[in-house]
Amino acid sequence: MRLLDEALAQLPSGRPATPPDLDQIVCELDAILTYSRRRRAFDGATDLSSSRPVIELAWVNPSESRSLLPRTQGSSLGRARPHHYDARSRFTLAHEIAHVLVHRLGQVSDAPSMLSPAALEKFCDSLAAHILMPEDWFLNQIGPRADLAALRRTSMRAGVSISATIVRCRSLDVQTGAIFLSNSDGEWQMLRAYGIGSPAQLRFGRSAQSSLCKAQIKEVSDCVIEVRCGDHNHELIGQLRRTYHSAVVVVAFIDSDRIPSPKVWRCRY
C-alpha cells in the first residue's frame, strides 16, 4: 500500500468520499484543538508528545480581517460547533490532522520515519489535499476541462482556495495552469504561477499591464495577455478574473500549446 493510503487509513471513519467536517475528524481522533495569539494567521502546530494530540491554530480576530476565521463571538471564540473556517485555515487544520495521522501510522510502521522533515511537511500538504478534495468527488466536480468557473465552484464546495484546487488538478493530471497577480501602484506582478514555470520566467509588457487594468472587476472574461520570456513575446490565452488589487488567470494555452499537466510549459524557441 502507498504511504499516502496507509496514512489515510488511520482516519477513524475511513477516507472521506466528500469534503469532510474537520471538527468531526478532530473529535474522532480524540485531538484537542486550541487557538493561540502567538501564532500568525494560517499557522498551525501539533504537539504529539502528550496522550491526546494538541493542535494549535492561530487565534484570529475577525475585526482585523473579515476573511480570517475561525469566527469569534464578541472577543472570545464561539463555542458553537462547527466553526466556520476560511479556506486557508481549513487547509492548515487539515495539514495538522495529517501530522496526527502520520504519527499514528508511525506507531505501527517504520515507513513515516524515513521521511526527512521537509518531505514530511510536503507529505502532510498532500495528505491534507486528499482529505479536503477526495479524488473521485473532485474529478466529478471539476469535469473534463478545469476552466475558471469549474475551479471556483469546486473550491467553494471543498472550502479550499483556488490555488489548492489548481494544485490538486495538476496532481491528478487534469490539464490546467494559472497565475496569481497582485497590483501595487498600478503595476501588475506575478505572485505565484502553476504550470508555466516560476513567476520570474515570464514578465508582462506594457500592453499586458493595460489590458489587465482594463479588465472588469469581478467578472470572468476570456483574455489574451502578452508576456515576455526574456527573448520573445508569447501569447497567454485563458480566463481572467480580477478584483481591485489582485487577479487570477487560468491559463489554457501559451501560444498554441495547451498547458501540460503535471509538467511545466517551457519556451521551445
Could you say whether residue 245 binds Zn ion (CB under 5 A)? no
Among positions 102-121, residues that touch Zn ion (CB under 5 A) are: 121
Residue 125 or 147 with smaller CB distance to Zn ion? 125
Choose the binding region for Zn ion from 73-81, 141-149, 223-231, 235-243 (rule: CB under 5 A): 223-231
State the CB neighbour count (10 A cutoff) for residue 102. 23
Least gap, CB of 230 to Zn ion (angstroms): 7
Residue 172 or 267 with smaller CB distance to Zn ion? 267
Written as one string, the DSSP assignment of 13-56 is T-S-SS---HHHHHHHTT-EEEEETTSPTT-EEEE-SSSS-EEE
Rounded to 5, what percent of the chain is helix, strand, coil? 35, 25, 40
Residue 105 or 142 with smaller CB distance to Zn ion? 105
Size of the site for Zn ion (CB under 5 A): 5
Q: How far is CA 43 from CA 15, 19, 37, 53, 161, in A?
A: 25, 21, 11, 17, 16
Least gap, CB of 218 to Zn ion (angstroms): 32
**Pairwise CA distance, residues 56 & 50, whole Å:** 13
Residue 94 or 142 with smaller CB distance to Zn ion? 94
Least gap, CB of 47 to Zn ion (angstroms): 12
Give bridge partners of residue 249 from the DSSP assignment. Answer: 179, 240
Could you say whether residue 264 binds Zn ion (CB under 5 A)? no
Could you say whether residue 267 binds Zn ion (CB under 5 A)? yes
Written as one string, the DSSP assignment of 104-118 is HHHTT-SGGGGS-HH
User: Which of 52, 232, 263, 266 touches Zn ion (CB under 5 A)?
Assistant: 232
Choose the binding region for Zn ion from 52-60, 106-114, 143-151, 261-269 (rule: CB under 5 A): 261-269
Binding mask 34-73 for Zn ion (x = CB under 5 A): ----------------------------------------
Among positions 118-157, residues that touch Zn ion (CB under 5 A) are: 121, 124
Contact 247, 240 (CB under 8 A): yes
Least gap, CB of 4 to Zn ion (angstroms): 16
User: Which of 54, 139, 149, 229 touches Zn ion (CB under 5 A)?
Assistant: 229
Least gap, CB of 234 to Zn ion (angstroms): 6
Least gap, CB of 185 to Zn ion (angstroms): 28
Secondary structure E strands in the chain:
32-36, 44-47, 54-58, 72-73, 76-77, 177-184, 187-194, 203-204, 220-228, 233-242, 246-254, 257-258
Among positions 159-188, residues that touch Zn ion (CB under 5 A) are: none
Cell numbers 475511513 correspond to: 14
Query: Any idea of the CA torsion for 18, 20, 24, 29, to the nearest 10 degrees?
Result: 90
Catalog residues that contact Zn ion under the rule CB under 5 A.
121, 124, 229, 232, 267
